[in-house]
Structure 1
Amino acid sequence: MPEPEPMSIAVESGTRSVGDDEIVLSVDDVVKHFPVHGRAGRGGAVVRALDGVSFELRKGETLGIVGESGCGKSTLARTIVGLERPTSGAVRFRGRDLHAAGGKEWSELRSRVQIVLQDPMASLNPRRTLKQTLLQPFQIHSGVVPRAKRLERVKELVELVGLNPDHLERYPFQFSGGQRQRIGIARALALEPEVIVCDEPVSALDVSIQAQVVNLLQRLQRELGLAYVFIAHDLSVVRHISDRIGVMYLGRVAELGDRADVYARPEHPYTSALLSAVPIPDPELRGTGSRRLLAGDPPSPVNPPSGCRFRTRCWKAQDVCASEEPQLERKDGEGPQLVACHFPLSA
């Protein structure tokens, strides 16, 4: 089934139009450990999915999160929106601790931070029509929209994301992959959130449809003043949509800074290796850059290395890297981005 409206395939670069530095979301030293079941679990072993993640998100900003599979990106997404409770640390929306709230406060905070999931087919109930899917948020949060106006609001949401209101009685299997992801975005917008966590929202889509969905997210951000945490493994997409970039490795943030600084002058060796793996579309330029191949596989999050977690694959590692864990900070107090490395590339 074709997409309902023609959209530019080119991804629009640059998204932020922010008049202040108002912080809407803060993640403060969040730790999330999962117990290991079976024999190892009897000794108290845990999977260290997140091990002290901190950052702030400003109004109207897009923070991109990148890293290898298993680095904790999706666990971070689920923890931010309240689907997982952190082992320690706090997620705060406008200064209010999301996980410490209860009752009406929990319902209010939960409605302000929403999520768009990776697989649009798996995230939709196959037995619910488009209308039923978009009415559900208003049934759960009954005070947001009066009952008499809910169907009108559903039609507004459908049009907002570029779908046809005449298709309200269709089921998920009757939509294309791109249309299903638009439904997921409409559902996330239903309660008028300020923050949306996008957990790899385009990785299951064709390349041309990816561009359409990214353009849609950028348009909605401009029109509604949304702030995004955009999680993905495609570094090119993250570069286009993000204002700042956070690079994760084995449950921790290795580098955090403005998009231009991180991509042009990476400080962490892991960031440099990631960027060197990005394909170059121009055939004449291929092979002109230096490719940094990392040795070995990422260590197990059940038993991460001491000190710096990247040291077992790092070409700059020294003895101090095994004994002292580097902190996420500006080197010499004046670097453009934060980096957790004893020997950053600019040193």
Structure 2
Amino acid sequence: MRTVPATCRSCGKCVRPAWRHVTTARRFSVSDTGEPILVVKDLVKHFPLTQGIVFQRTVGHVQAVDGVNLELYPGETMGLVGESGCGKSTVSKLIMGLEKPTSGQILFEGKDVAAMSRRELRRYRRQVQIVFQDPYASLNPRMTVGNIVAEPWDIHPDVVPRKERPRRVRELLDLVGLNPDYANRYPHQFSGGQRQRIGVARALALRPSVLVCDEPVSALDVSVQAQVMNLLEDLQDELGLSYLFIAHDLSVVRHLSDRVAVMYLGRIVESGTHADVYDQPAHPYTQALLSAVPVHEPALRGAKERIVLTGDVPSPADPPSGCRFRTRCWKAQQICVDQDPALVDRGQGHPSACHFAESVEIVHTD
């Protein structure tokens, strides 16, 4: 394990590591960054539903992603929140180029990812890497840790000369808090948190500028989650990375993110800074999610109203007309059936897709 630095790199005074001050001393400001490094415009992905064995015909579409807009700035952490099945992981696959969008654009430094040639896409993937959810399934059990971390250099041999690779592997393992001597071990010899650190080291091998983190801590214990989150914040300070952090755990996203976007059934229903979304949520779905976050302070227990949503999440193959959340919303009226609410600021200081949006203060849980 690496030794903790003697002084904090954020304030320069205390002896705690820098990542302990990220949420207070180093909050990202959009106004200081200029142009976004990654832009998602009206992104749509519909998967066809087919019938028949020999002669297949399309009978419908699963609307996994339907009109998502996002912006990611250099050095920023953008949190993407939503329950399972809302389309978060599909967004990450589209950004990585693992799926082709039905329509819309993904612009990296002004270039459309879907229109890139194979050579351009190869260069793009050096700049945008992904950390997967399952820290064991994403690692080849037949390869040593050293070979796993060095594998990206076999695809991009011009990044690191072959003679320098053993040294660089040791440096990367040390960077993510692992003993460099572990390079000859296999994934099954590590704990879940250590395996996730190996995945992060592999993602950093090509020196990317953007990391797409697809629920990287959801499969880990709470104590291990804290270690991985602290690692990600430390790496962001050291390397200037930008994160698209996808999760369903609201407390994790609040700890890491500078801005937050809330997804429901393939669409963004609310977005804003972490303070806007968590302290003054305007959309009923966001309010219901935050009301379910456990309160750890005994003095605050019982001070927050629990919002229980009724009914099931509609099928993305047949979403409701108008507002997609209306079938579970206690504010729903006829206008919600007839008109799809736009994602605009309705007087709460940040955009929300609700005809009856209103800010509601949520009891702090940290």
Which of the five TM-score ranges fits, normalised by the shorter chain? Answer: over 0.9
CA distance in 2, matches of 1:35, 1:12: 47
1:232 aligns with 2:247: yes
Cα distance per residue 1:272-324 (max 9 Å; x no partner) = 11100100012332122111111101100000000110011111111111111
1:275 aligns with 2:286: no
CA distance in 2, matches of 1:35, 1:206: 37
- What is the RMSD of the two structures over their aligned residues, measured on CA atoms? 2.0
Q: Is the 8 A contact 1:12 1:240 kept in 2?
A: no
Give the corresponding residue for 1:80. Answer: 95
Residue among 202, 220, 225 paired with 1:205: 220
1:317 aligns with 2:317: no
Give the corresponding residue for 1:64. Answer: 79
Give the corresponding residue for 2:49. Answer: 36
CA distance in 2, matches of 1:182, 1:37: 40
CA distance in 1, matches of 2:46, 2:249: 26
The 3-state SS of whatever aligns with 2:197 is helix
Q: Is the 8 A contact 2:28 2:258 kept in 1?
A: no
Cα distance per residue 1:7-39 (max 9 Å; x no partner) = 899966515456423311001111111122446
Q: 1:6 to 1:273 in 2, by over 3 A?
A: farther
Q: Is the 8 A contact 1:17 1:222 kept in 2?
A: no
Moved more, 255-264 or 136-145: 136-145
Q: 1:106-185 alignment to 2 at 5 Å?
A: 106-185=121-200
Q: 1:232 to 1:285 in 2, by over 3 A?
A: same
User: 1:151 offset after TM fit, Å?
Assistant: 2.0
The 3-state SS of whatever aligns with 1:218 is helix
Q: Which has the higher contact order (CA 8 A, sep 6+)?
A: 1
Residue among 30, 33, 38 paired with 1:20: 33
User: 1:104 offset after TM fit, Å?
Assistant: 1.9
User: 1:110 offset after TM fit, Å?
Assistant: 1.3
In the comparison of the two structures, how many residue pairs are matched?
341
Give the corresponding residue for 1:214. Answer: 229
Q: Is the 8 A contact 1:11 1:240 kept in 2?
A: no
Moved more, 318-327 or 300-309: 318-327
User: 1:233 offset after TM fit, Å?
Assistant: 1.0
CA distance in 2, matches of 1:269, 1:13: 30
- Specify the code of the residue in structure 2 equivalent to 1:36: L
Give the corresponding residue for 1:188. Answer: 203
User: 1:268 offset after TM fit, Å?
Assistant: 0.6
Q: TM-score of the superposition, structure 1-length normalised?
A: 0.94
Q: Is the 8 A contact 1:16 1:60 kept in 2?
A: no
- Specify the code of the residue in structure 1 equivalent to 2:350: Q
Q: 1:245-256 alignment to 2 at 5 Å?
A: 245-256=260-271
Q: Is the 8 A contact 1:244 1:256 kept in 2?
A: yes
CA distance in 1, matches of 2:308, 2:3: 40
Give the corresponding residue for 1:344. Answer: 357
CA distance in 1, matches of 2:167, 2:267: 44
Q: 1:77 to 1:222 in 2, by over 3 A?
A: same
The 3-state SS of whatever aligns with 2:119 is helix
Q: Give the fraction of aligned pairs with identical amino acids, expressed as a percent.
A: 58
Q: Is the 8 A contact 1:11 1:212 kept in 2?
A: no
- Specify the code of the residue in structure 2 equivalent to 1:281: H
CA distance in 1, matches of 2:253, 2:28: 17
Moved more, 207-216 or 74-83: 74-83
Cα distance per residue 1:49-75 (max 9 Å; x no partner) = 000100100110001111111000111
User: 1:102 offset after TM fit, Å?
Assistant: 1.0
Q: Is the 8 A contact 1:11 1:214 kept in 2?
A: no
User: Moved runs in structure 1, 4+ residues, more than 6 A?
Assistant: 6-11
Give the corresponding residue for 2:13. Answer: none
- Specify the code of the residue in structure 1 equivalent to 2:351: L
The 3-state SS of whatever aligns with 1:64 is strand
- Specify the code of the residue in structure 2 equivalent to 1:317: A
